[in-house]
Amino acid sequence: MGDRRGKVYLVGAGLGGIDYLTLRAQQLLSHAEVLIYDALVDPQLLQLVPNDCLKLDVGKRGGLSSTPQKEINQLLVDYCLQGKQVIRLKSGDPLIFGRANPEMEALQVAGCDFELVPGISSALGAPLLAGIPLTDKDFSRCFVTLSAHEPELLDWEAISRIDTLVILMGGRLLGEIVQRLQENGRSPGEPIAIIRNGGRREQQVWIGTLADIVDRTAGISLSPAVIVIGEVVNLRKMTDSPSLPLAGKTALVTRSAEQSSNFTHLLQAQGATVIEMPALEIRPPSSWEALDSAIARLCEFDWLILTSANGVEYFFKRLETKGLDARALAGIKIAVVGKKTSAILKQYGVKPDFIPPNFVADSLVENFPDAIANKKILFPRVETGGREVLVKELTDRGAEVLEVAAYQSACPDKIAPQAWEALQQKRVNIITFASSKTVRHFCQLIEKALDTNSTVTLQELLKDTCIASIGPQTSRDCYELLGRVDVEAKEFTLDGLTNAIAQWSQNVKN
């Protein structure tokens, strides 16, 4: 390991989420060992790195505390010299106001390999997504991009003569910017656009003139913003696509970190801003003894029942550990609950013999294709909680059921900071629950967080927030612990839950 050569990638994150990330950047993130990122990087990009990747937030947002640049330089050098694949993730493009030069110099001095990976700069992407052309044959033959971070160092007389101005980091200094431009000859009636959160779902645009824009935006936090000044603002084309059902809504996803990405993408495709709050941690069981014993005598069982994707994956991984594969299941029939469980099973080259209707375990017994009496059934399952009804009904009908722990689903130690902040600030419109355990763990995490800030109750925190459940069993826990369910999926799948939430949102709008 000591001979392995590290490398640092200075990567542009673009101006928003995954939609505007380059393929090269996505590829590198998927193999990162150390991620050093700025505060303006979209949080969903952090989900692209491996679970064991070390993630370091170094700030770099105007007006807030940040890691000193020398310390960032040293972090890059240290981890590279340890043989790590290091991603330095910067908002926009790494070489446009990204302070990449001192980092490259430090890497060169230390003899570290590095590579530059471009990203879409907000200076170009934000105006485009707001429908504002930066050049035009009649109104703008040139434009300049500048940082307003230190306005006293800029030549405002020269700047004022350029057709179109694109100003970054100027939200807090808007009053000074428009004053300096008018003092140097720009007309008070010249159009100006302020684009906040360009390229994101929550993008907002304010249009005005140099004379009135300060009043139009009084009391509004404009950061992070791109400011466009010039006649091209009047050429703005309204290019917004038809409103998606969940546009303007923020959804909290409470699945495990390993399972949340697919559901996140489904919700984002409907226009939602998604915040992930892992409420499950999937781990190996506390002991493999029971499962190993069952695997050693697989030939004794008539049926294998698998009720979750986790159950499938941990069962087959354990088969592999014991030197076996799907051929060890010859002669055993397999029942699965849910489309996702069936799809995961097929990845191992096995087709289920039975999938109950409605995709719920409770309907498995009444629709079972064989006589159950005297059948020996192996049921690899989560170590604690759930499926008691299924086992009881199978046993009551004369089956001999062997339950073995295949995995654990534990509650994380603490709530994800981004999720807690959004809940406290009442920015969450929808909370999604895809299992009973996520409901229970969600309540545990919230109650633990409230212990340190008990000015509000759980009910007050979730007031006016839609509670969405994947099915009847999950809904029972919602009613018990949260007092209500606002949306329940008709088809008990993630697609079904997404559709139900989208329909709810449409009804609210209407």
Q: What is the DSSP letter of 92?
A: B
Could you give the count of Cα atoms lying within 13 Å of 248 in the half-sphere of its Cβ? 9
Count: domains in the chain: 4
For 219, the domain range is: 124-235
Amino acid letter for position 65: S
Q: Which among 97, 65, 68, 252 is positioned nearest to 166, based on CA atoms?
A: 97
> Is 240 part of any domain?
no
Q: Are 91 and 148 members of one domain? A: no
Taking the C-alpha atoms of residue 171 and residue 385, their distance in angstroms, rounded to an integer, is 51
Q: Is 169 a catalytic residue?
A: yes
Instruction: Let me know whether 229 and 309 are in one domain.
Output: no
Residues 288 and 404 in one domain: yes
In a domain, 173, yes or no: yes
Question: Does residue 343 share a domain with residue 269?
Answer: no
Strand partners, 194: 206, 227
List the catalytic residue out of 84, 93, 104, 169: 169
Q: Which is the catalytic residue, given 38, 42, 93, 477?
A: 38
Per the annotation, the verdict on 1 as an active-site residue is no
Give CA–CA dist 367/358, Å, rounded.
11
CA nearest neighbour of 27 among 82, 72, 87, 74: 87
13 falls within a domain: yes
Which of 54-68, 213-227, 261-275, 462-476 is predicted with the least confidence, judged by mean pLDDT?
54-68
Residues 30 and 103 in one domain: yes
CATH of the domain at 228: 3.30.950.10
Report the CATH number that the domain containing residue 270 is assigned in CATH. 3.40.50.10090
Are residue 18 and residue 48 in the same domain, yes or no? Answer: yes
Distance from C-alpha of 277 to C-alpha of 417, rounded to nearest angstrom: 9
Give the integer Cα–Cα distance in Å for 348 and 371: 27
Q: Is residue 500 part of a domain?
A: yes
Tokens of 263: 């559901």
Mean pLDDT of the chain: 89
Residue 372's contacts (CB-CB under 8 Å, 6 or more residues apart) are 365, 394, 397, 398, 399
Phi, psi (5° rounding) for residue 405?
-75, 125
Q: In the listed set 387, 410, 433, which residue is the last one of a domain according to the structure?
A: 410
312 and 405 inside one domain? yes
Helix axes 100-109, 69-81, angle to 10 degrees: 40
Is residue 93 part of the annotated active site? The answer reads no
Question: Among 60, 84, 340, 375, which one carries the catalytic annotation?
Answer: 60
Tell me the per-residue pLDDT of 458-486, one tens digit each, with 9 for 90 and over. Answer: 888 899 999 999 999 899 999 999 999 99
Residue 275 placed within a domain? yes
Q: How far apart are CA 483 and CA 477, in angstroms?
A: 9
Q: Does the pLDDT of residue 273 top 90, yes or no?
A: no
Q: What is the pLDDT of residues 359-388, one digit of tens each?
A: 555 667 777 887 888 899 999 998 876 677
Integer angstrom CA distances of residue 508 from 137, 247, 454, 490, 504: 45, 12, 31, 18, 6
**Residue 40 maps to which CATH number?**
3.40.1010.10
Helix (H) or strand (E) holding 213: helix 213-216
Beta bridge partners of 380: 404
- Does residue 350 sit within a domain? yes
**Domain match, 349 and 205 both:** no
Reported as a pLDDT band with limits 50, 70 and 90, residue 327 is very high
pTM above 0.85, yes or no: no
**Which amino acid, one-letter code, is at 373?**
A
Among 379, 410, 441, which residue terminates a domain? Answer: 410
pLDDT at 317 over 60: yes
Q: Are residue 15 and residue 104 in the same domain, yes or no?
A: yes
Same domain, 421 and 328: no
Does residue 53 share a domain with residue 36? yes
Q: Determine phi and psi for 56, rounding to 5 degrees.
A: -125, 115
**Boundary of a domain, candidates 119, 146, 178:** 119
- On whether the CB atoms of residues 375 and 399 are closer than 8 A, the answer is yes
State mean pLDDT over 30-54. Answer: 90
**Same domain as 476, residue 334:** no
Residue 151 in any domain: the answer is yes
Q: Please check whether residue 243 lies inside any domain of the structure.
A: no
